[in-house]
Amino acid sequence: MQQVDVAIVGGGPAGSSAAYEAAVQGAETVVLEKGVPRADREGLGPDSTDAAGMLDYWVDIMDFRPEEIPDEVILSDLEGASFIGPNESVTIRDTGIDATYPEFGFAFHRARFDDWLRERAESAGATYRIGTSVSDVTTDMTGGHTHEIERSDGENVQARYLILADGPQRTVTTDAVDQFLPHDHSVRDYLDSNIANHIAYQEHRKVPEELFDEGLLKFWWGVMPGHTAYPWIFPNDNNVARIGLTMPIGMDLADVENPQNYALLDPDDEQIPPGRVYIRRLLEREYPEYDIEEDFPLVEDRGKRKGTEAYPISSTRPIESPTEAGVAVVGGAMGATSAFHEGGDHVAVRTGKIAGQLAGQGRLDRYNREWKRAIGEEVRRNVSLADMVRGWNPDDWDDTFRLVDNMLNRGEYSPSQALGSGLSGIRLVAEYKLRKLSLGSGRYVQLRQNDYLF
């Protein structure tokens, strides 16, 4: 049995970031990654894709300098984002948060990003064991903490510290953490994959040159039902865009209020359409004069499989880790990523870095405090916004985009319109601030360290 200081389950952004930091501290570190094939990657790698866009201040949250990110990872710089409702829209060209990255953000190649993080970790001394899944984790708390990680090939690993970075599906995390909860409780009570997750689906398509907004992200809100359910277009490079959406898992059309109000639902629908149907309807609605299959062809050498990919995105509040047992849960596995802001590579990287560094130093007991200090404001902001829009209908999105557009472009409106927008804006901002205030002192966390038993 291999014995190491730090074992990490999952080789995505959180896991590889943890591996680098632990190895830099001199800890013997191993990453256990089951590995999946992708059309745009040589060999096996993590099953951890998303729409792959990075905002300017997210680079700072990751604790990277802009120049550290390799040119081959970045596909294109972004200039702004358009938020489009059923009838109203607004475009912003500034995130409003101080950042070292000089542009609004960038679109990036996810497989290259993952591979770059792995190369950093290996260069620091971490080793990777790829191609076999983890089947179980057993923790012995006799005289400290020791973790035995069982692998399906029988080649087990024993470690002093365990970092769980298996993403929002939490195939290993759930049982590993349940060891430290009362028998009538489970991590599933907080992070059940069918409740806490959204499913995302996207297609890589070539976009007609005259339609390709190279620097502009586009998000459509209020056109499909579901909390934080929306389609998007992310420009990449060479007129290729990621066209996708996120929506709740297992949503029932019978539970949708006023389905006729959603532009991407059809009166003949008997159930919620699959992602590919939603995307087809979006493109037909936005570009009716084009033949979708001919003018927006799939780019089959990108993504996981023939230009398409599906993946879960956690949409919940994060949990604290049972650090007294030498365990840290990071990134999507802890619920720190969000469907509201389209994934969360930035918080995955940062939580992984913190856990890896502290495990490598033998100070993992500080992890819960340190991750909240680093990303707490980001999580609090996203939870506040997601809570605020829960239950919104298409008219609510139109009203908000019209309001924000008025406020950003006051010179184009009469004094009475500006005044009305101002009063409505005050109410909108006040609601957001009140919700954010209610989540102070870490109240955005739903499972506390004190809830664990040792």
Kindly report, residue by residue over 264-307, the tens digit of the pLDDT: 999 999 999 999 999 999 999 999 999 999 999 999 988 888 89
228 vs 224, more confident = 224
Give the Cα separation of 179 and 181 in Å (integer): 6
Across residues 180-200, what is the average pLDDT?
84
Q: What is the pLDDT of residues 330-362, one digit of tens each?
A: 999 998 877 665 568 999 999 999 999 999 999
Strand order in the sheet with 89-92: 89-92, 80-84, 216-220, 230-235, 240-248, 197-206, 308-314
- Higher-confidence residue: 250 or 64? 64
Check residue 420 and give its pLDDT: 44
Within 10 angstroms of residue 78's Cβ, the number of other Cβ atoms is 22
Are residues 140 and 44 in contact, defined by beta-carbon separation less than 8 angstroms? Answer: no
Q: What was the pLDDT predicted at 416? A: 41
Nearest to 358 by CA among 14, 27, 4: 27
pLDDT of residue 49: 67
Contact 10, 170 (CB under 8 A): no
b vs e for 213-228, b when ≥16 Cβ sit within 10 Å of the residue's Cβ?
ebbbbbbbbbbbbbbb
- Nearby residues of 415 by Cβ (< 8 Å), 6 or more positions away: none
pLDDT value at 63 more than 60: yes
Q: 245 and 421 in contact (C-beta within 8 Å)?
A: no
Q: How far is CA 45 from CA 14, 16, 111, 173, in A?
A: 13, 11, 8, 19
Return the pLDDT at 30: 98
More confident residue, 97 or 194: 97
Q: With 90 as the cut, is the pLDDT of residue 1 above it?
A: no
Best-predicted range by mean pLDDT (267-281, 308-322, 429-443): 267-281
pLDDT over 90 at 314, yes or no:
no
Q: For residue 431, what pLDDT band results from cuts at 50, 70 and 90? A: confident
Three-state DSSP at 449 gives helix
The structure tokens listed for 366 are: 């500080």
| Percent helix, strand and coil across the chain, each to the nearest 5 | 35, 25, 40
Q: What's the pLDDT band for 419 if we cut at 50, 70, 90?
A: very low
For the record, the structure tokens of 212 come out as 């390709």
Token look-up 């959204």 returns 198
Rounded to an integer, what distance in angstroms lies between the CA atom of residue 384 and that of residue 393? 18
The pLDDT mean for the chain works out to 90
244 φ, ψ (degrees, to nearest 5): -155, -165
Which two structure tokens, joined as six digits, stand for 359? 């495990």
pLDDT of residue 302: 87
Q: Residues of the chain with pLDDT > 70: what percent?
A: 93
Structure tokens at 412: 């184009």
The tokens for 399 are: 């009203």
Read off the pLDDT of each residue in 30-59 and give the average, rounded to a whole number.
87
Is 34 within 8 Å of 86 (Cβ atoms)? no
What pLDDT, on the 0 to 100 scale, is given for residue 15?
98
Query: Looking at residue 273, what is its pLDDT?
Result: 96
Q: Poorest-confidence range of 194-208, 368-382, 391-405, 415-429?
A: 415-429
3-state secondary structure of 419: helix
Of residues 277 and 427, which shows the higher confidence score?
277
Residue 363 has pLDDT above 90, yes or no: yes
Taking only the tens place, the pLDDT of each residue in 88-136 is: 999 999 988 999 999 999 999 989 999 999 999 999 999 999 999 999 9
| Interval 141-181: pLDDT, tens | 998 999 999 999 999 999 999 999 998 889 999 999 999 99
Residue 77, pLDDT above cutoff 80: yes
Q: How far is CA 219 from CA 222, 234, 389, 428, in A?
A: 10, 9, 15, 20
Considering the entire predicted model, what is its pTM?
A: 0.94
Q: Specify the pLDDT at position 128.
A: 97
Question: Around 100, how many Cα atoms within 13 Å sit in the side-chain half-sphere?
Answer: 11
- What integer pLDDT is reported at residue 190 of this predicted model? 87
